[in-house]
Amino acid sequence: MDRLRKSFIASGTALALTLSLGAQAAPLEVAVDSSPSGLDPHIVTAFSSFQIIDGTIYEGLTALDADLAIVPGLASAWEISEDKTTYTFTLREGVAFHGGGTMTSADVAASLNRVLDEDTGSPLASRLAAVEAIETPDDSTVVIRLKAPSAPLLSSLTTIAIVPAKYAEDTETLQRAPDGTGAFRFVEWQPNVAIRLEANDSYWQDGLPKLEGVNFNIVPEAATRQVGLTSGQYHMLPNTDAVTALQLQSQPNVKLQDTLELAYSLTGLNVTRPPLDNPKVREALNYAINRDDLVQAALFGAGVPGGPLSPALTGFALPTEELACFSSDPEKAKALLAEAGVETPIELELLVLPRDDTKAMAQVIQQQLAAIGVNLTLDIPEIGQFVQDWRNSEFDMFVSLNSGTIEPDDYFYRTFRTGGSTNVFKYSNPALDALLDAGREETDVDGRREIYAQVQSALACDGPALFLAYGQLYTAMRTSVEGYEIYPNRSLGSLKSVTLDN
Amino acid sequence: MMFLKRLRGRLIDLAFVIVGVSVLVFAFIRMIPGDAVAIMLGANAEVTPERIAAVRTRLGLDLPIHEQYVVWVSDVLRGDFGVSIWTGKPVIDEIAAHVWPTLQLTLLALATAVILAIPLGILMARLRGRRGEAFVQAGSVVGLTIPPFWLGIIMILTLSAIAPGVQMLGYVPFSQDPLGNIARLILPAFALSLPIMANLARLLRSTLLEAMQQDYIRTARAKGVPARRVLYRHALRNALIPFVTSVGIMAGYLLGGAIVIEQVFAIPGLGRLILGAIAERNYPLIQATILLVTCSFVFVNFAVDVVYAIIDPRISE
């Protein structure tokens, strides 16, 4: 027994001896929950990839600030023709790629064409659908000619990274070794361990970045991430959920920043599978859900019940009070099912995105729908399986999270237009399609507002998705981290202004 | 002669086990739904079927499964384990980069288990029929049944509450910072060693008690040898034979526990490598890593057999 005690004392001493209170110089140690699925800015879709590369390694012609306003990026200025179909961009001087070489209009044209090229298979291609021609009159000028006016263009360009022209045909190298113009240069990727970036000494913005580098540590275990932050081993847990944030709130040396998400949680319905093909049934499901309870139970109150657009898009989003079916009414739901001639109980399967918040939502929805005689079996696969089933529309219903941007077109066109690239619901509504096409070409602000109000009303009650909620997004960091700004779209672009005060 | 014959038989068994495992691993990981290409290209419906087909061809996934197996085995026999689908680096390099933390962690856990199990086992044997026996027995059952990963989480949460500044996650190479290396491994190694320690202590207790019933012990006592000496010199010696065998078997199981513990303590070892490789369906990497782990497991068991034969005179006759 004595020996036991001694060895414990010995190990305790060893621990105490190595008690280091984070007295090393930068880099900033960031802990993220999952490995990115590649780093090619024109190919990846997952948040896990986006947060590592957007605004840190890569930049677009235009950029967003933390208030989601469009500001100059790699283009220092632009002019728009009278008829709104010609955009002339003046490029910044002296912008270098990490891998060497100065950025010219040829690289910009090659990047845009790479996104448009079918062989790239870029999910961003639809954002450039209006482009007719890309011209490069000289090294520092790019002219984009459109088939028709395209209101979302400047917003879309914030998401399209400029890469060296030599990668035009190469869809593999950048997935593993990114090469951009941003404040941080890629150093190495140790799969499932860490991705290391170092400061780009020749960054075009004077005095930036202020950090020596950024290490993204891949730490799948939530408790481990939290302990790592409280012990000072990690400096930041970006884009985390309310549960984690609330647990860290009381810790000394930890501070939080939060904002309302652009991404929304939804329950998607496969409209090719009865009885979900019946609009009345879809409306009934909307009435059966109590979104306030859902936000309380699954998001710990850190979020708002939401319609088709994030309330953060103040210019466009309709208040949910204006959407009739957003008030919970189980009796009306049952009446609608009866009206539709559907026999209850209905047995359906619910495919669940394997995240803590979506799992919690799935359970709440299961309970709420059981009250009107819709019995759900939950299927919670691992992520690879989820992606495959989702992509192939192998589901009755699913619960997931869809990303958003500052542009309503990005919320709707890909996802709800007939044949849209992420229209996994197999939904087709010609009236909605016409509205979505008109929304792209309308450049007058009031006109667009009117069109997207109609779109939201069309989707809200008998569309293929039950819009659930917009969560509060948090970043937890050590008090020694200064200058960080949380972005509603989960970009970590503000890392270039961050300092670490040791 | 007998000994050599047995050895040869064991070696043939070994070869069969390894071949069998290689077939099973190959088949099982391809049975996981969702393939490498789908995961690589992401949740993105704009990828053309042609492009998916092209990537499959490049990775050799378009061949029938038995042909894929033949290709893989013939490459492996030439010492070529292929390249990681994601990074394009040779699989061998990936494994080499991850093998040290795991090796260190498991050896440290094994050493901890053995060093603590011997005094605990003796203590339990000596407490037999006395007050306190129930307490120690209960403790050993708790040790046996606590899942190491849960204990690991409790440990880091507790320690971070008591000593918020202590950095206990991750891994630092011994050559770079010996103290930091040990300090970071102590907790996970302890969590990992607990069930094995309890197991070994219980085993030692029962073999010791059994040995104490033997004739030679009675003889020694009758000759007036002091009780302590009887215990340590005579009984313990014989009781350690099954103990050593068990240590060997346990060493294999440590690898399984290490996979989970590495997740909790963010240690960049083989466990993280295997889990990550499975998540991204990185076939060459999964195959090579699991084959390596299996071979070490089988080899350790084989070595135990040999050692056992050497230390137990009844076998090596």
Contacts of A314-323 spanning 24+ positions with Cβ under 8 A = A315/A445, A315/A449, A316/A408, A316/A448, A316/A449, A316/A452, A316/A453, A317/A456, A318/A453, A318/A456, A318/A457, A320/A291, A323/A456, A323/A457, A323/A460, A323/A461
Contact A191 B94 (CB under 8 A): yes
Adjacency order of strands within the sheet including A141-146 = A75-80, A86-91, A141-146, A131-138
- Among residues of chain A, what percentage have pLDDT more than 90? 70
Are B264 and A224 spatial neighbours (Cβ–Cβ below 8 Å)?
yes
* Structure confidence at residue A52 (pLDDT): 95
As a dihedral over the C-alpha atoms of residue A237, residue A241, residue A247, residue A251, rounded to 10 degrees, the angle is 30
Beta bridge partners of B171: none
Give the whole-angstrom CA distance, residue A276 versus residue A272: 7
Average pLDDT, chain A: 90
Backbone angles phi, psi at A400, to 5 degrees: -155, -175
Instruction: Pick the residue of B157, B158, B159, B166 with the most A CBs within 10 A to test the interface with A by mutation.
Output: B166
* Surface-to-core class of residue A133, CB atoms within 10 Å of its CB (0-12 exposed, 13-18 middle, 19+ buried): exposed
Report the alpha-carbon distance of residue B254 to residue A450 in Å, rounded: 64
Nearest CA in chain A to B179: A18
Taking the CA of residue B165 and the nearest CA in chain A, the distance in Å comes to 5
User: What residue in A sits closest to B159 (Cα-Cα)?
Assistant: A227
Q: How far apart are the C-alpha atoms of B96 and A486, rounded to whole Å?
A: 38
A38: left (phi over 0), alpha (psi -120 to 50) or beta: left
Say if A192 is an interface residue toward chain B (CB within 8 Å): yes
Task: Give residue-wise pLDDT tens across range A264-301.
Answer: 999 999 999 999 999 999 999 999 999 999 999 999 89
Q: For residue B47, what is the nearest residue in chain A, using CA coordinates? A: A121
- At position A84, the amino acid (one-letter code) is K
Can you tell me the mean pLDDT for A341-361?
93
Q: Which of A49, A171, A191 shows the shortest C-beta gap to B276?
A: A191
Instruction: Tell me the shortest Cα–Cα distance from B112 to chain A, in angstroms.
Output: 10
Closest CA to A430 of A416, A412, A451, A450: A416
Q: How far apart are CA B296 and CA B212, in angstroms?
A: 36
Using the Cβ of B42 and the Cβ atoms of chain A, whether some distance falls under 8 Å is answered with yes
Query: Coil, strand or helix: which one is A498?
Result: coil
Higher per-residue pLDDT: A330 or B249: A330
Q: Which two tokens stand for residue A475?
A: 């970043």
Name which of A8, A224, A244 to mutate to probe chain B: the one with the most chain B Cβ atoms within 10 A of its Cβ: A224
Q: At residue A18, does pLDDT exceed 50?
A: no
Specify the pLDDT at position A4. 44
> Could you report the per-residue pLDDT of A31-61, keeping only the tens digit for each?
998 888 789 999 887 788 899 999 999 999 9
Q: What's the rounded Cα separation, in Å, for the pair B316 and A112? A: 75
> Quick count: other Cβ atoms within 10 Å of Cβ A449?
15
* Cβ atoms < 10 Å from Cβ of A233: 26
Q: pLDDT value at position B312? A: 66
**pLDDT for the residue numbered B38:** 66
pLDDT of residue B233: 72
Instruction: Name the residue facing B38 among A45, A190, A387 (closest C-beta).
Output: A387
Nearest chain A alpha carbon to B272: A192
**How far apart (Å, rounded) are the C-alpha atoms in residues A30 and A89?**
35
Q: What is the mean pLDDT of residues A200-216?
A: 95
The more confident residue out of A165 and B123 is A165
Which residues does chain A have within 8 Å of residue B268's beta carbon, measured at their own beta carbons? 190, 192-194
Alpha helices by DSSP H, listed for B42-147, are 49-58, 65-77, 91-126, 133-145
User: What is the spatial distance between Cα B306 and Cα A394, in angstroms, rounded to a whole number?
Assistant: 54
Q: What is the pTM of this model?
A: 0.84
Query: Is the Cβ pair A119, B48 closer than 8 Å?
Result: yes
The Cα A351–Cα A372 span in angstroms is 20
Q: Measured between beta carbons, which residues in chain A are less than 8 angstroms from residue B44?
A: 43, 45, 121, 123, 391, 421
Which residues lie below 8 Å from residue A260, measured CB to CB, with a gap of 6+?
A304, A310, A311, A312, A470, A472, A473, A488
Residue A108 Cα, gap to closest chain B Cα (Å): 22
Residues in chain B: 317
Among A19, A122, A191, select the one facing B166 at the smallest CB separation. A19
Closest-CA residue of B relative to A15 is B183
- Provide the 3-class DSSP secondary structure of residue B314: helix
Q: Does B279 touch chain A (CB under 8 A)?
A: yes
Tell me whether residues B166 and A231 touch, CB distance under 8 A. Answer: yes
Judged by DSSP in three states, A162 sits in: coil
Render the burial of B228-265: b for 16+ CB within 10 Å, e for the rest. eebbeebbbebbbbbbebbbbebbbebbebbbbbbbbb
Contact (CB<8Å) A384/B276: no
The reply to whether residue A21 touches residue B169, judged by beta carbons under 8 angstroms, is no
Residue A384 pLDDT exceeds 80: no
Q: How confident is the model at residue A453 (pLDDT cuts 50, 70, 90)?
A: very high
**Cα(A153)–Cα(A144) distance, integer angstroms:** 10
The whole-angstrom distance between B108's CA and the closest CA on chain A is: 13
- Chain A CB contacts of B263 under 8 Å are 220-221, 224
Q: Which residues contact A353 (CB under 8 A, 6 or more apart)?
A: A383, A386, A398, A399, A400, A401
Reduced to 3 states (helix: H, G, I; strand: E, B; else coil), residue A213 is: strand
Contacts of A35 in chain B (CB under 8 A): 276, 279-280
CA distance B147 to chain A (A): 16
What is the Cα–Cα distance from A161 to A40, expressed in whole angstroms?
9
Q: With an 8 Å Cβ cutoff, is A193 touching chain B?
A: yes
- Kind and range of the H or E run holding A486: none
Whether A335 has a pLDDT exceeding 70, the answer reads yes
Averaged pLDDT for residues A315-344: 92
Whether B45 and A383 lie within 8 Å, measured CB to CB: no
Q: Do B160 and A11 touch (CB under 8 A)?
A: no
Helix, coil or strand: residue A88: strand
* Chain B residue with minimum CA distance to A17: B179
CB-based contact B260:B271 (threshold 8 Å):
yes
Collapsed DSSP state (helix, strand, coil) of residue A219: coil
User: Please, what's the largest Cα pairwise distance for chain A?
Assistant: 88
Interface of B with A in 189-228 (CB under 8 A): 190
The string of DSSP letters for B296-307 reads HHHHHHHHHHHH
A197-236 residues touching B, CB cutoff 8 A:
217, 219-221, 223-224, 227-228, 230-233
Write out the DSSP string of A388-404: HHHHTT--SEEEEEE--
The pLDDT tens digits for A395-436 are 999 999 988 888 899 899 989 999 887 899 999 999 999 999
The answer to whether A211 and A495 are in contact (CB under 8 A) is: yes
The nearest alpha carbon in chain B to A393 belongs to: B45
10-residue averages of pLDDT along chain B (317 residues): 75 86 86 70 60 77 87 88 82 89 92 91 84 83 87 88 81 84 90 91 88 78 78 75 80 81 90 84 88 83 77 58
- Which of B97, B170, B183 lies closest to A15 in CB terms? B183
Six token digits for residue A249:
């709130």
Q: Give one DSSP letter per residue of B226-291, joined into a string.
A: -HHHIIIIIIHHHHHHHHHHHHHHHHHHHHHHHHHHHHHHT--SHHHHHHHHHHTT-HHHHHHHHH
Q: Name the B residues in 85-104 with CB < 8 Å from any A CB.
A: 86-88, 94, 97
Per-residue pLDDT at A11: 45
Q: Does B262 touch chain A (CB under 8 A)?
A: no
Give which of B149, B160, B181, B259 to mutate to test A binding, by max A Cβ within 10 Å: B160
Q: Does A178 touch chain B (CB under 8 A)?
A: no
DSSP state of A327: S
pLDDT of residue A16: 40
For A254, which residue in chain B has the nearest alpha carbon? Answer: B164
Place of tokens 């900033």: A28
Give tens-digit pLDDT for A73-123.
Answer: 999 999 999 999 999 999 999 999 999 999 999 999 999 999 999 888 788
Which A positions 393-452 lie with beta carbon below 8 A of chain B? Answer: 421-422, 424
Distance from B305 to chain A by nearest Cα, in Å? Answer: 31
Q: How far apart are the CA of B181 and the nearest CA of chain A, in angstroms?
A: 9
Write down the pLDDT at residue B1. 59
Can you tell me which residue has the tokens 């580098």? A213
Tell me whether residues B165 and A21 touch, CB distance under 8 A. yes
| Interchain pair B263, A391: CB under 8 A | no
Q: Which helix or strand (DSSP H or E) is residue A304 part of?
A: strand A303-305
Q: Which residues 74-93 of A are in CB contact (within 8 Å) with B?
A: none
Cβ contacts from A onto B, under 8 A: 177
Tokens linked to A31: 């802990």
Residue with tokens 């090229």: A117
